[in-house]
Amino acid sequence: MERTPLGFLLVALGGFIGAVARHGIDLVVVDAIGAGTLLANILGSFALGLLLTRAARRRTRLFVGTGALSSFTTYSTFVGDAVALGTTVGAVYVAASYVAGFTAAAAGLFVGRRV
């Protein structure tokens, strides 16, 4: 981990970009409760899998992974959406999110290694 002013700046700038992109997903995907969160988490999982196979530089991983992707994906909203959906539908949402997230991450790893 890079504990320098530049490292902190990279994480902060990446976090800003990821948070703004996440808000954009919510503005575009308005059809169902949790759909924006689900889409952001799936896209972020894929991007993280791709990043882990393609980004050799620590600073790229700080900016994109720790900064942008960590603020683009969101666990707190995911939990809030699951609770709001109720026990049965919420449980299905959680299961679908984990399956889709792991599948997307695996796809990102696969694509990253094949490119």
pLDDT tens digit string along 42-70?
Answer: 999 999 999 999 998 999 999 999 999 99
Per the structure, how many domains does the chain have? 1
Residue 8, C-beta contacts closer than 8 angstroms, at least 6 positions apart: none
pLDDT of residue 27: 84
pLDDT of residue 26: 85
Question: Which regions of the chain are under pLDDT 50?
Answer: none
Dihedral sign (CA 75, 80, 81, 83): positive
93: containing domain: 5-114
Cα(113)–Cα(85) distance, integer angstroms: 37
Report helix, strand or coil for 33: coil
